[in-house]
Structure 1
Amino acid sequence: MPVSATVLVYGARSALNVSQSVPLLHSLRQQQQCQSLRNNDDALTATRVGSFRLIHTYAQIQDAIHGIIDLPSYIQEITQHLYFQRLKKVFQLGLLPLSVKPGANHTRFEHCIGTFKSAQDQLNALLRNSNYEYELPDWCRKSVEIAALLHDIGHGPFSHTWEHVCEGQFNHEKNSEACVDRVFSDARDNELVALRDDHNGRGVNLIKALILGDRSKLNYVMMQHAYIFDIVHNKVCGLDVDKWDYLRRDNHYLQVLSADEMDFDEVFLNARIAPDGQRIEYRYEDYHKIWLLYLARHRLHLEAYQLPKVLLCNDIFGEIVRRQQPHLLDVNAESDPEEWLRLNDERVLEQITNDTEAQYLRATERIEEANEGRLVRRRISGPGEDMNSNKVYAFYGNPSLRRDIFLQENQQQSTIIEKYFKLK
């Protein structure tokens, strides 16, 4: 490591505010303490976590997936913003670490940092693999990297679980737009100020459009560089750096899939810019690795994300919040920015801990499968459904090198999850 480098261990948790006597928060504290130990390294820490003093040109962070990640000063400023720091108290996998998989206690903070690095890796690969005549302007590259960093800044407590709690009335991507506006309104670094103010704020406009994956949100036309919309939130074929990071990160902690089953990095590292600059093209010989990616995603849904007990805990949690604290459902970064800052996993659990059914969230062994009782029913799409028609992918190279994919019957159709549980 260079002598001049400063290492900021952003993953460490700050002290919790809630009384140790609150039993529902006990499991959450244990998860956060484990997370803090996993990320904290006193020998490397040079700046207090949460400090807003920007005295370093760059910093480095040790990440479980990417190793050491360099953070330039303008990225440091974003990661030290209170809205971004809030993500340390939002579990990536919702209630899963409290209910079934205690080791999978990583946070949206870590995933966002990792997605930033994944965007850098793909941009570098595109530059390396392409013979494209138009160089991506520096402000565009920074916008892509920042969009990757901030793509999940609008997530509610327990991540996607909160959208279930709000019964579809909350959208974390739309909420991220308001969070991005707040981060940039507070910006001091010259690089961030330029993205906000130069050319009628074209940088911030691009960042928000990239997060939404919606070119129509731009106030201008991306003539030669429309391909960047395939990087952060790819609405055309679904291959983006968000998936690339969360599949690797989630499986690292869940340990569901082998290295061979996760062998799809080359999909992104071998990609290139299409000759017209409108799309990202993938190699024909990596076609089967695209299939591996969607198969991995399906397996994680079946064996972790949508385990029946997890789904029941989500239902119980949602019912309690709607019953005990319905006002929380209306909190977002646009309407109540200060209240939004305080809305995290810990605070919501604190506010519902006295509900009679909250006991099942802290003692899931009291939830047992049965022949009747509480029904959990979900549909999980098959990987053959998730991997869209060949027409949405752009390929390059030798078509004869493409391997055919032979789908088993259960991979072409949805899996129906249907279980009964009793609460002891």
Structure 2
Amino acid sequence: MSPRRIHPAWFVAGAALVALIGAAGFRAAPGVLMVPLHEEFGWSMTEMSLAVTVNLVLYGLTAPFAAGLMQRFGLRRVTTAALLVIAAGSALTVFADAPWQLLLTWGLLIGLGTGSMALVFAATVTDTWFVKRRGLVSGILTAGGAAGQLIFLPVIATTAEDLGWRIASLIIAGGALLVVPVVVLLLRDRPSDIGVWAYGAEGPAAPSAPRGNAVRLALGALREASRSRAFWALAIGFAICGATTNGLVGTHFIPSAHDHGMPQTTAAGLLAVVGIFDIAGTVLSGWLTDRVNPRILLVAYYALRGVGLFLLPTLLSATVQPSLVIFIVIYGLDWVATVPPTIALCRELFGERGPLVFGWVFAAHQVGAAFAATLAGIVRDQTGQYTVAWITAAVLCLVAALISGTIARRRAPVSEPTS
């Protein structure tokens, strides 16, 4: 391998980061668009939460199969197709005039598209292109979602208020389309495609492109992993992680703050601040994952999140108080800090199948998020407030901390991918 000043892996990681930012637009949308849709059509929070639930379930369940597709057809093709599907789903939302139509746009199309661009994409890029600095790179790529939220959320909130939610939906579609050329030009499937080794590798990787189809690869990884208690500990913990981030806070923080008299744009600004600190927290978590037992990190992250959620009902008010700002900063640092240590544990326990297994763990994350999105909407419609949802989530975080501390340290047997 000829010496280079900058290893090509960093350009691939940069393209992946831009793609994740472009795909993150819809992650910011439901919490902002639910209030305008309710005011225009009178749809209940439960009806709209159902569309978000379908999205979150597909977002998760698509991930392990997307990992198989990336191994078979390559990162660039799958990522490009995913971005186009996201753009189509967001653009078609402007024609919705009944709640069931949101199931097709927010739910089906955007769920499939974002599921193919889920965190398993970051895991696949990291494992394929890096041997050293894996924790740091996975943290940076994971932070791409936060950066997307930071970029899109204030724009979507302001546009929805000033120009209407339809223009805001078109902005999301445009954001996904804008990064397609970057993916086509810079993203490469594997180091051997351009005659280099992975970053930090001491030699070329053995040819390992699987010949089986994506479904068999994904289901084979699940069958093997499900025999391990460590897999179930990771899956349960990550399901609670999803419930307390995307499902609850990501979807219902703005409506909950609005219930307390806070303007929607102010609440959206607070979630954008979460995005700012999420970037710092996730990159720091990746750096720590290279140096600290990832089990210890997960215990600390879940416990800290539980304390924050327990206090949140007493912090919300019509105005932004210092105590709420402290919550936002801490929650931002913790938001997806769980991802780098979880990816590291999947790699440690399941070897080369780590990205596929992480896809299933991530699926559990999104199932948890989906349940939380729907149940919180029901709690709000039935009780008129979100307090029960916040307290329940706090208790679940403490459960996740306890479970994470029990994850086995031994390496699970790894079999060759089947054809």
What interval of TM-score do these two structures reach, taking the shorter chain for normalisation?
under 0.3
Q: Which has the larger radius of gyration?
A: 1
Structure number with the higher strand fraction is 1
